[in-house]
Structure 1
């Protein structure tokens, strides 16, 4: 049986991190909120399993990742990305650099973006990333390397990078 207080405490702690990751994955504030909400519902339904997990936060991030990838597969042609971004700037980045990075991330395919966000934003190991996205470690390394090369090329050509 789910103990509401334990789940609620967990949800309060993990939600900000889930939202940041979801926003980086999808690049859309409202979709990130929807992904987090769906993830929290899935976690509630599987709460006994989540509680028994070695790392419940990693379990939650894995659930979010799978929810995002599933969303991309199911809605590949039904939505058009927009260029609206959150108003608050990330600490350490000026607004224009943040927007450039956000736009560059959005040009990557869903799986490449997921690999980059998990590896370099969430600081996951190659193995952890491979398990979460269902790829071999070699495939994760290759995707990460190629995606970073594309990001570097895009960012080095951008006006914000030269100013």
Structure 2
């Protein structure tokens, strides 16, 4: 992800204010915070160069539930970026407010409680996408393939440090 966008997301989530120190920006269409995390709703979603069907398709997301960041809104279109900072315009109907995370570490241990000493539930490998149930300051309770447990935020992309999700 591009450093500037990540810094803005981090500042917005942790402090409730944008990088400029002003109240966090909201989208002109939804009145929801910008930037914000979402996920791709379907197993196929076109990413376009601009916010309309007449713009060229640059690529297609083919991974359902992949976490993305919305960085702009225009009508029924949302500008998104993925973990690698690649972005484009996606129709809002392809996006979900359901929060997911992508495992960034080689292997993330899922524990029964938000404690490194708690029993292990599963090991999530790099690239696994899991649904967020809730997040505390340093841990997120996630769900994947019938398993639920707590994973350290440092191992995940799709949630900011210190962000609380209930």
- Normalising by structure 1, what TM-score? 0.26
- Normalising by structure 2, what TM-score? 0.25
Structure with higher helix content? 1
* More contact order relative to length (CA 8 Å, sep ≥ 6): 1
Structure with higher strand content? 2
